[in-house]
Chain A
Amino acid sequence: MRRLLLLVWLVPLTIGTALLPGLLAGPAWAAFALLPLALLTWGWPMLGHNWRSWRYAERADDLLISRGVLWREETVVPYGRLQLVEVTSGPVERHFNLASVQLHTAAAATDARIPGLAPEEAERLRDRLTELGEARSAGL
């Protein structure tokens, strides 16, 4: 998904920066295209790293979500604190047959999202979390 975004933005930019100065001001200026190209070649494996870094674990009493390579963030959400579990799937996600699970607690700062799950897994996770949330439900 993010690789797609990267491609969508950077490929035209590379071509654009290569063609425009190349045609207007001479071929030497086409070297400007190296910058987006470098970003593209660097970004491709980095996104792979980032994708691999997204993890989640259902523990006995809480859900652990960990993500990020350069900016690491790990979140623990106790099941009893879950207010709402959403499964969302945008048009692009649907095209690749993916879904994301978004968790909400009473604190808006809790940004617990698990993107890029297979729809069956997303639904299983949603049902499981709702069930656990009901069993361990606590007030505010």
Chain B
Amino acid sequence: MSTSPGDGEAVPALEPKELKAPAAAPKQTQQPQQPLAPQNPKEQEDPKEQKSPKEHEEQEDPQEQKRSKEPIERRLHPVTPLRRAWAPIAVVIGWALHDPDRTQRQLTRLTMTTLLVGLAVLVPAAALYGFLTWWFTHFAVTDSELRIRTGLVFRRTAHIRLERIQAIDITQPLLARIVGVAKLKLDVIGTDAKDELAFLGETEARTLRAELLARAAGFAPETAHEVGEAPVRQLLHVPPKMLALSLVLTAGTWGMLVAALTVPALLWLATHSVWSVLATALPLLGAAGANTVGRYVGEYDWTVGESPDGLRVDHGLLDRAHETVPPGRIQTVRIVEPLLWRRRGWVRVELDVAGSSNSLLVPVAPREVAQAVIEQVLPGVTVPAALSRPPRRAGWCMPFWWRGYGIAVTDTVFAARHGLLSPHLALVPHAKVQSVRYEQGPWMRRKRLAHVHVDTGANKTVTARLRDAGQAAELWRSQADRSRTGRRVALPDRWMA
């Protein structure tokens, strides 16, 4: 990692700052404890803080209070108050459409003056509320955390620790794209929807992301905002044609389509009423279409890239999303091979990051390409080719499906497969294992079989199902050892430090 281009950029960035140092000296003398802050990782590794990365202002010690005056507090982009402006209008329109007759009567009863008075009260009130929420929302980047202060009546301050960042997403809904703003969301375990910065200017969002990543990586705080955006190397781009074909070949699409055709046909036989047929057929067809088109639009132009500050995933036709997962944050990777894709040798790759909702790495790609991407994303990992199946007597515990089970253990990953029609192969790096469990029920005991569960931090469990009991006990014991040694060689949280 030390030979990565991002590191090379940091060195020239240091020099201008050092030249400027005398001018900034009075500011720095106020903060004698500032350089200490990033150097106490032991304190930050406190188990309690992993559980609750956010703390409230009241719990801060006086030292922190002094420092909190220093960082520049910034506001969101000025268009933010408008983002919910359409909501009341939509409600009124929806109500009018829902009951057109009464609306007509109500409208005739409304005189010009009541209308004007209503508008004169409502519009400024809404504007004031929007303005005030925007005015009272501040965010600041300090040495070790991002603080977001919100709330008009109930104040709320979120402290998000940068070294605990699991992923950073920049998303741009269609309207936001037109206006040129973006949403920035940090995934830390325990954050919720309130902790996103919506909206920021497009370039501001990008520079902020670069700065946050640089600080999270462990660059000195003085230079962090000069490190700039790390260069991206493209690993994979999904062509639109392939994506469209893959969606056509999805069993779910066909299931919906079949349902949309058979249910109305049966209804027609039963009732002979055109309206009831239309009333069921249209929503079903609509749902099938919306699902497929929605996935196409969402997964359009899917690009996976690699940069020193992590994995980049960009996608979307109308709503653009740019996700960044810093190195060493991926808990599990799953390779899914749907039945209808098998002839073409295509696979889908899903990934799990703790505290993050994004779960797709590659929507569709040929197997070799997908494996190459996985090998880039999880350094030192090779996707095991041959899996060992459970013993034949496993058929007594799980008839037929036992054939889909299989496991493989390499130096770096624990891999387990399940599923017969669409096999799911899950890979867990040894360093990401939270606990290992051995489980055996009475029937399995009789057949000398056992499960081995491997739990990861993203609340996912990967299971080696129906192994021979002796082998399972051995696997369980050695997996505990492997994950211990795996943790020692794993990347630190601050991956550049």
Q: Is A118 an interface residue (CB 8 A)?
A: no
Q: Is A98 an interface residue (CB 8 A)?
A: no
Given A71-B439, A72-B440: A106 and B457 within 8 A (CB)? yes
Would you give the shortest CB distance from A125 to chain B, in whole angstroms? 16
**What residues on B are CB-neighbors of A140 within 8 Å?**
50, 166, 189, 329, 331, 354, 432, 457
Q: Is B437 an interface residue (CB 8 A)?
A: yes
Give the total of B residues in contact with A, Cβ under 8 Å.
41
Stretch of A4-12, A41-49, A89-97, A130-138 with 4 or more beta carbons under 8 angstroms from chain B: A130-138
Check if A139 sits within 8 Å of B45, measured CB to CB: yes
**What residues on B are CB-neighbors of A74 within 8 Å?**
437-439, 476
For B153-193 the 0/1 string (1 means CB < 8 A from A) is 00000000000001000000000000000000000010000
Check if B453 sits within 8 Å of A109, measured CB to CB: yes
Given A106-B457, A107-B459: A75 and B50 within 8 A (CB)? no
Q: Is B447 an interface residue (CB 8 A)?
A: no
For B422-459 the 0/1 string (1 means CB < 8 A from A) is 00000000001111111111100100001001011111
Would you give the shortest CB distance from A52 to chain B, in whole angstroms? 17
Check if A110 sits within 8 Å of B455, measured CB to CB: yes
- C-alpha gap A93/B440 in the complex (Å): 29
**Which range contains the number of A residues in contact with the other chain?**
20 to 34
**What residues on B are CB-neighbors of A105 within 8 Å?**
434-435, 455, 457
**What residues on A are CB-neighbors of B67 within 8 Å?**
none
- Would you list which residues of chain A between 99 and 134 have a CB under 8 Å from chain B? 104-110, 112, 130, 133-134
Residue ranges of B at the interface with A (Cβ–Cβ < 8 Å): 45-48, 50-51, 166, 189, 328-329, 331, 354, 432-442, 445, 450, 453, 455-461, 476, 480, 483-484, 487, 490, 492-493
Residue ranges of A at the interface with B (Cβ–Cβ < 8 Å): 61-62, 70-78, 80-84, 104-110, 112, 130, 133-134, 137-140
Check if B437 sits within 8 Å of A78, measured CB to CB: no
**What residues on B are CB-neighbors of A80 within 8 Å?**
487
Check if A107 sits within 8 Å of B329, measured CB to CB: no
Would you give the shortest CB distance from A69 to chain B, in whole angstroms? 9
Would you give the shortest CB distance from B52 to chain A, in whole angstroms? 10
Would you give the shortest CB distance from B378 to chain A, in whole angstroms? 15
- C-alpha gap A107/B434 in the complex (Å): 6
**What residues on B are CB-neighbors of A108 within 8 Å?**
459
**What residues on B are CB-neighbors of A138 within 8 Å?**
487, 490
